[in-house]
Amino acid sequence: MKIAHVEPIELAAPGDELSSPWSSTVVLVRLETASGAVGWGEAPTTLMTRPVVESVREVARFFEGRDLADAPRATREFERYSFYRSVSMEATSALSAVDIAVHDLVGRELGVPVSTLLGGAIRDRVRAYSNGWYSDCIEPSEFAQAARAIARSGFNAMKFDPFGDEYRTLSPEGLEAARERVSAVRAAVGPSVDLLIECHGRFLPEAAIRAGRALDEFHPRFLEEPVLPELSDALAELRRSVRTPVALGERLLTPAAFESFLARGLVDVLQPDITNSGGFTGGREIAGVAAARGAPVAYHNAFGPVQTAATLQMDAVLPTFLVQESFEGSWPAWKASLVRGYALERGEFRIPTGPGLGIEVDERAVERFRSDAIEPTGPEPPWVVAGTWVRRSPTKGRAKPR
């Protein structure tokens, strides 16, 4: 089967629908063979939608015209030619999306789920944690009310960023505000619910250590990306000073990077992202690194439904699986309409067992939301859950078609 065409497709929220800036666009990859068979992949966005789309076109040159069975050679050839791949999220994201689409298509042609291609599923459902649930929450009471609703819906784990607009440094007032928010959530949901604290990789080491120490009393399951990624060596001191385990990985691009962080004692919980760390090809290697080190894995999953479906196939085979991130409960409606085939019920995902990714992409919806929009900016950074730095107006947070 010849790979005839690899197409990057940008989708964007319709103009009348609110969303956080990071969730206002999606990049899908549609891989089609000469016989008309189709596989799907997805790449991340977060203020790099346009560069990733262009990078997919670069990657496509190595795959188009090759037999589907020759895709691994195309991957290695791209790695050889792509001089900056190991430090370029654009290059690794594009390659990951194509790799996901290749595996989807191979699974479809063989009539088996991708998990079978990866060695076989060892679980049929996975525990999920909710993210995005705290949109428009600033006061502790607002966090508490939203957390209670998430717990009632069946989740027994939830992640949130309690630090407001603090960045790099952490003022005494900002730290106390964060502590009050976490305290309110803990009181609202009780001790049996896991609280996962998101720092978004934005603090200097001293500030991160103070934050971790202040929140230890609430027994978080982990503290995610507590320091600026370029200062990650400071995580060794943080882990000596803070009881809460450290989680990270969404900005690590290669299996070697994950091994390095584990070997240097910088991380407890790995959070690879299948859309930027090599797709399933890289995922197999990262899973081996985690298994060899006994490191829990909690895949990062913050973009769209094709990413979720692909991630669930990895979850099915991970020997050290911990918990799976889910934004499904806070997605805008247009994203939810793109795919059918997997289910989230009472805080658990059922892993699809159909061929390939086990999903069907609604190509009519894809055509309906095609766009060349660019993610909006301001007044909050694009990685923020909307309305947690400043109160937003009804016109904020929309992706404007161009």
Catalytic residues: 200, 300
Sign of the torsion formed by the C-alpha atoms of 116, 318, 193 and 211? negative
Among the residues of 216-362, which ranges form H helices? 235-241, 255-263, 279-293, 305-315, 333-336
d(CA 342, CA 359) in angstroms, rounded, equals 7
Residue 35's identity, in one-letter code, is S
Three-state DSSP at 21 gives helix
Buried b (16+ CB within 10 A) or exposed e, 289-315: bbeeeebbbbbbbbbbbbbbbbbbbbb
* DSSP letter (8 states) at residue 325: E
Cis peptide bond N-terminal to 379, omega within 30: yes
Query: Do residues 97 and 279 lie in contact, with contact meaning Cβ atoms separated by under 8 Å?
Result: yes
Q: Tokens at residue 360, please? A: 């069907």
d(CA 132, CA 330) in angstroms, rounded, equals 6
d(CA 56, CA 27) in angstroms, rounded, equals 10
Q: List Cβ neighbours of 385 (8 Å cut-off, separation of 6 or more).
A: 20, 131, 132, 134, 135, 160, 161
Angstrom distances, CA of residue 364 to CA of 272, 360, 368, 369 = 31, 12, 6, 9
